[in-house]
Structure 1
Amino acid sequence: MKLSARNQLKGTIVEIKKGAVNGIVVIELPDGQKVSADITLNAIAELDLAVGQTAYAVIKATSVMVGVDE
């Protein structure tokens, strides 16, 4: 797999929560942090996603916001 996105985080799928149209896929990274993505149920089926499977969280953003505590 080759992508232009530079933020490609490899991990393990630890949870898939299916809704009516979309599902939330949770990927645990090697350091224990978790990243979640809201994707269509069709995408979950087409990618044949399952808990325990290795997957990548690919992040391509045009802007990033920064916040601080008051």
Structure 2
Amino acid sequence: MTITAINVRNQFRGTIKEIVEGPVVSEVDVQTAGGLIVTSVITTRSVKELQLTVGKEVVALVKSTEVSIATL
């Protein structure tokens, strides 16, 4: 499944592994078929409206103007 109606090129299909719900924002961890974990911070309202639950299959859409990397 790909979503082509929007301008986001990086799409990762996966399964929700964990949701850490806060009063305003929540963290949603999505595990891809390759084992990569993609974490999204979205509003808790969006979690409820999208009916996100652990185990649900979703597509993580990544659009960023900057990626920072630091050395260890």
Give the TM-score range, shorter chain: 0.7 to 0.9
Aligned-partner SS, 1:25: strand
1:19-59 CA distances to partner (integer Å, 9 max, x unpaired)? 12111000000011101011111000110101111111111
Q: Where in structure 1 are there 5+ consecutive unaligned residues? A: none
Q: Where in structure 2 are there 5+ consecutive unaligned residues? A: none
Alpha-carbon shift at residue 66 of structure 1 (Å)? 4.3
TM-score of the two chains, using structure 1 as the length reference: 0.86
- 1:4-43 equivalence runs, <5 A: 4-43=7-46
Seq. identity, %:
35
CA RMSD of aligned residues (A): 1.3
Rounded to whole Å, the distance in 2 between the matches of 1:41 and 1:64 is 25
- 1:55-66 equivalence runs, <5 A: 55-66=58-69
Structure 1 moving runs of 4+ over 2 Å = 63-69
- The count of aligned residue pairs is 69
What letter corresponds to residue 65 of structure 1 in structure 2? S
